[in-house]
Amino acid sequence: MGYFIIKTGDKIIEGDLSLPTKELLPEQKAAASFDQKNLRNVSSPFLIVLISYTPAADVPYQLTHISPDYYSRYEFDQADFIRLVRDREEHRQNAYQLAYVYEGEVFLRVESQRHKYSVGSCFLLNRNVSYNEEFTSPFRTINLFLPEEFFRELVTEDKRYFVTKPLWNSQTELHHFFEEELNGEHTEKKNYIDFIPKKETDDEYEVLRALFDELTQIILSPSPGCSFLFKNLICRIFVCLSNKELYTTVPLDLGSEAEGRLFSQISLLLEQSNGRLNRQGLSRELNYSGSYLNRVVNKYTGMNITQYATTLAMKHAAWMLIHSDTSVSDIISELGYTNRTSFYIAFEKIYGETPRQYRIRNLDEMK
């Protein structure tokens, strides 16, 4: 049975996630609706979201929201988790998001483009970027949702009493990111940065981890003066991320809003067909030339339509290998592959092992 608890002030509301919405009490519906609305439209000074995913556990997915105004925790059992993932679409917030990978590795789909983040990695999204996590391997992350006003205050207050160096080096991608964002000149542009730790600086990676540990403790157990300490820690985190000796930064140009919507439509159609819809079929469905659709897919993924469709099909195969007892032969049939060898070649190219090896390794890691 899934479970949720929401605390606002002295009020505590609990509920069963497996119940249909219509069976929840009015106060349970109101609390859950408020929580989900605040996640999409952050109105508080900040919102922290802690995510933990352990595939084989009785409760594989745990989600915690913390803000100055309220606290909520969701625990999804296997059945509720499958429903959640099945119905979940790419989404965006009205705040900037900084995410840090505590454990494991995360595959994130950003504007339908797939990225992998190992432990110690971070990513920063602006408010126009749509994204969604994939659930193929265990991970634990902390996600900071910070409104524009928070960053404006951060820059202003840093110079209130002392003359200091800029919060982030003017030669860094982080500086360019916020200079463009806070100037308000490109209100529809999609800005996004990856922060990849350099392997030769493992000790420094622990410094960043310690900062996030301290930040987590503050938000879970606030004490007098913690508001000032919270901002201090955010500053120190960004200073660390802007240090080119510690992190490689990778900015991405994700294209126009219209292209983003078109690419989402392409991805949806390919997923619904298990990757079996070809360029001509997409052209008929979307009323664009195949060559233009191919250029859009290449811009967002670096692949052509056939390669991208194969990647989505293999992603679905990987999900079934972990979350079902379906045989490899039946998975191949369900995905519409008539040539078993071509399926195996495609799967090994993406995941580096056979479907059987992938299933055994992941199930062993979950024990």
Domain ranges for the chain: 3-146, 149-251, 257-366
Mean pLDDT of 329-358: 90
Whether residue 291 has pLDDT greater than 70:
yes
| Average pLDDT of the chain, as a whole number | 81
Confidence (pLDDT) at 199: 66
Confidence (pLDDT) at 37: 60
**Cα angle value 4/130/183 (rounded, 5°):** 115
**Is the torsion defined by CA of 122, 123, 124, 127 positive or negative?**
negative
Q: Kindly indicate whether the domain formed by 257-366 is annotated with CATH number 3.40.50.300.
A: no
Whether residue 98 has pLDDT greater than 60:
yes
What is the spatial distance between Cα 133 and Cα 131, in angstroms, rounded to a whole number?
7
| pTM, rounded to two decimals | 0.67
Whether residue 189 has pLDDT greater than 80:
no
Q: Which CATH superfamily, name and number, covers 3-146?
A: Jelly Rolls (2.60.120.10)
From 72, 124, 120, 70, select the one nearest 93 (Cα to Cα): 124
Confidence (pLDDT) at 346: 92
Whether residue 164 has pLDDT greater than 80:
no
